[in-house]
Structure 1
């Protein structure tokens, strides 16, 4: 299979992970009710360290209710309090057992959250823990008819996962105690800054490499013309460079196939299936890393890059490629084997960036019309699978796939990720490959157009498209922080910024018709650069 065909399929897999989230802190909302006095707390994550017989054995994460007092933010100020089981377990009526300041542990169901809190408080509990009936966290709100809410004890929901540790240990008459505190998350984490620089820098490198390749092709074709070669055909020469142009039909098909793959991932999500994705990612990342290294080293080792050897089953391979390949294969294999260690994200990002740059080099949009169709379809795709899919599947398909729920893994590997360095909650800031590749195709086209049209950086379109992309990604981070860590479809913000700026600027300068229909001058005659009067 040719590299450009592999890049096409890798790009489809990349589009699957098109949302930006804080890994590990997504909270699903169970109900909706307007905030009102007594029921207007901000939803916060709560740390719940568990102590059994004086020894800390686990730490769980819960979510605070809309009602009740706020929790301490410092662990050292949080009291260590014994746990008592509610009797009845749902705490929907006055508990039969005597409570003297313990934290009451109850199950969800049969009555409202406020009713449970009132019963626990009346019985003398110092706090109420509610165990959900699913392995997820839900926001506890007040019902519409609960207008006079006056709860004076903290109420925290925990997932079903805590059942075995807390309830069983308490039933065994062990001394089970907990702490409740809610560390404040920093408004901006360094990880977000580095992830932003990583995404912007990747597009920047890929765009200049794509333009450099177009320039090399233009020079080569100009030599053929000067030599009077009869073999020169612009279309054939252009396609011989290994570049694959997409058209409107393939742009739409691109998103349709990605949707089908996304559903398949959602339905078949398991540890085995993630392992298969890891293999696919390693193959794509290894080849991307090899392509990038060969392109960089060929400047210093021109002879090795231009000399070939025949390899059985593979055909003619450059000596430089043959020398680089073993190290790339070893790097990908080592990452796959040790991908669960704390620093494995570095290897994943290196392979991912190399794959993204290679895809942006191999796949190109020929004009603004195709770029607009591609980004518009991806814009709708992202919104549908992050938000609208909740209506049919009762959960966000994109977020479930990105997190790797039910697979026993930290998520699918088609992501750039950085650990949140100064966040007491830990986790990762991640961005899908699709949020870099798809806008990158249009931005790379802008730089190629600027060069072939002899436009300066200020008078061209690349600089402004690049700035717009950066602002769109920055807006995504702002929205992510404002939405309590809910996963956000990054293309919801990136596409209007990038595409809107590009089209508006082209319209203002009178270049829109040329960019929309003709596009890249190199497609028609790469050796001829457009002059101002050609437009």
Structure 2
């Protein structure tokens, strides 16, 4: 088994979805706002009571027209629920309404017609049941003018309507409350997610730079000793990205994304979960072995041959069962409310392992890779709507066509003070790709023996944190619509490196070799070539 190939494959899978997704319902914004039809689309909670006892709660979306729905539960009216007769409410209801909330089917007439008929019959609100299990934003038709609807209208999904109808048929009295609590401007979950992303890159960068410095020091020692085996390579299993592979990333990743979009189903999500478990377990093992080897050096440097895997250290053998068990348990119980912890642990371990293994050799490759990733994000988040009539990236990230919660290649934290619940999420690509560039800057600083302030790592790290912060600001300003984080992160990180490199005169070295000038090393390399030829 070639573990490097497995890691690189999972690396590509991890980069497929790097959008910062929000709560997005099916939308139709082609019709502009007009007088009487200018409400913002808001999510609405529909709390039910059966014979005076509180029961289930449903979530709907408010219409562009009608009275605005109150935001506080204590201000919401407690009203009886009545099923319309006829069901579509396209004509005057036969049953009398006295401030009741009327439930109607979508039918064939306009949404505004239903609301006008319900208001004329004395209803206090209208619940329109969609004919599909999704939330549809109700707008006004272009030819509708002088709208004057004074009751709220809310769209509910089909399954909610079926449940409500069953309640009405089995109970003597069903009552509802409609209210739309406001989301906090900033949830503490977004702060923790920001710290998680920045902390992951920070730790992975130091791990990568430490390994590069140790390998460089060992290589220098070998060059000074002519009697040693000079065929030694200091790569240590490191994979350097080339310009060609950076360009191919867009093509391969786009093909893989389209496959996910077209074949999105439960079995495909399950396959991605299995791949994530394999990559997460392998990443967690690599991280634990690297950490524990400082205290258990004897076990870390003692090896035994294992079929298919070759020489494996005793420490790896001891750690592997725990990592595999952890990944399997997460895969089995990933639907539990606390399973996000296991997903984040496996995800962070995978990200750190990839940043330690995959390296950007110079700024040229880093610029090509991040620029291609940015174009990839912009196309599949925004421009793909023109070809597929929906954002391919967001559909794949949310797993809309699979019946599942979405792909697992995300870090997520539950929103703690959000009345609507849900998760704040960030794609692996938003951490991995900038992390490769930031790790490159730290390796350069250490090889050039630059101080923290005189180097590049500190400033690119700050630029990343600022870019990610602006992503969250944009997400809130865009009313929860999905935002590609790389749109903000790439200009900040690359721009910082270019600006400082040009100002300090290091831009040429950063762009070409990615290493400071070391004349002694060139002399030793020439001598090693001569010694190799003689042998």
TM over 0.5: yes
| Mapped contact 1:218–1:527 kept (Cα < 8 A) | no
Please tell me whether residue 33 in structure 1 is matched to residue 28 in structure 2. no
2:139 paired residue number: 141
Which residue of 274, 282, 285 maps to 2:277?
Answer: 282
**SS at structure 2 position matched to 1:266:** helix
* Offset of residue 524 of structure 1: 10
Aligned equivalents of 2:337 and 2:329: distance in 1? 14
> Which residues of 2 match residues 19-418 of structure 1 at below 5 A?
19-22=19-22, 25-108=23-106, 110-170=108-168, 175-229=173-227, 231-232=229-230, 237-239=233-235, 241-418=236-413
What are the superposed Cα offsets for residues 165-209 of structure 1, whole Å, 9 maximum, x if unpaired?
Answer: 123544678533321111111111110000000001000111111
Q: Deviations over 1:56-94 (max 9, x none)?
A: 442211111223222222323322322233344433444
The residue matched to 1:119 in structure 2 has which SS?
Answer: helix
How far has the Cα of 1:231 moved from its partner? Answer: 4.6
Question: What secondary structure sits across from 1:60 in the alignment?
Answer: strand
**Helix, strand or coil: the match of 1:237?**
coil
**What is the CA distance between 1:463 and its match in structure 2?**
1.2
Contact 1:366/1:523 (<8 A) preserved = no
How many angstroms apart in 2 are the aligned matches of 1:369 and 1:451?
19
Structure 2 spans left out of the alignment, 5+ residues: 525-535
**Closer/same/farther in 2, CA of residues 192 and 318 from structure 1, 3 Å limit:** same
For this pair of structures, how many residues does the alignment match? 524
Conserved 8 A contact 2:66-2:151: yes
Q: Give RMSD over aligned pairs.
A: 2.4
Deviation at 1:156, TM superposition (A): 1.1
CA contact (8 A) 2:216 2:234 kept: no
**Helix, strand or coil: the match of 1:47?**
strand
Cα distance between partner residues in 2 of 1:54 and 1:320 = 62
Q: Is the 8 A contact 2:219 2:234 kept in 1?
A: no
Shift of 1:246: 0.9
Indicate conservation of the 8 Å contact 1:60/1:162, yes or no.
yes
Q: CA deviation at 1:133?
A: 3.1
Which deviates more, 519-528 or 131-140? 519-528
Shift of 1:142: 3.0
User: Which structure ranks higher in relative contact order (CA pairs < 8 Å, sequence separation ≥ 6)?
Assistant: 1
Deviation of residue 362 (structure 1)? 0.4
- TM normalised by structure 1 equals 0.92
**CA deviation digits over 1:239-283, x for unaligned, max 9?**
3x1000111111122232222222222222222222221111111
Q: Secondary structure at the match of 1:395?
A: coil
Partner of 2:527: none
CA contact (8 A) 1:31 1:140 kept: no
Question: CA offset at residue 468 of structure 1?
Answer: 1.1
Name the stretch that deviates more: 513-522 or 242-251.
513-522
Q: Counterpart of 1:180 in 2: which secondary structure?
A: strand
User: 1: CA distance between counterparts of 2:519 and 2:38?
Assistant: 62
Distance 2:317 2:204 in 1: 24
Say which SS state the counterpart of residue 471 (structure 1) adopts.
helix
**Which stretch has the larger CA shift, 484-493 or 465-474?**
484-493
CA apart distance, 1:525:
8.8
Deviation at 1:389?
Answer: 2.0
Distance in 2 separating the partners of 1:296 and 1:119 = 69
* CA separation of 1:112 and 1:508: change in aligned 2, threshold 3 A: farther
Deviation at 1:230, TM superposition (A): 7.1
Once residues 296 and 336 of structure 1 are traced to their aligned partners in structure 2, the CA distance between those partners, rounded to angstroms, is: 25
Distance 1:507 1:99, change over 3 A: same
**Aligned structure 1 segments of 4 or more residues deviating by more than 6 angstroms:** 522-529
Tell me, in whole angstroms, the C-alpha distance in 2 between the residues paired with 1:341 and 1:129.
31
CA gap 1:522/1:184 in 2 versus in 1, 3 angstroms: farther
| Cα distance in structure 2, aligned partners of 1:48 and 1:514 | 62
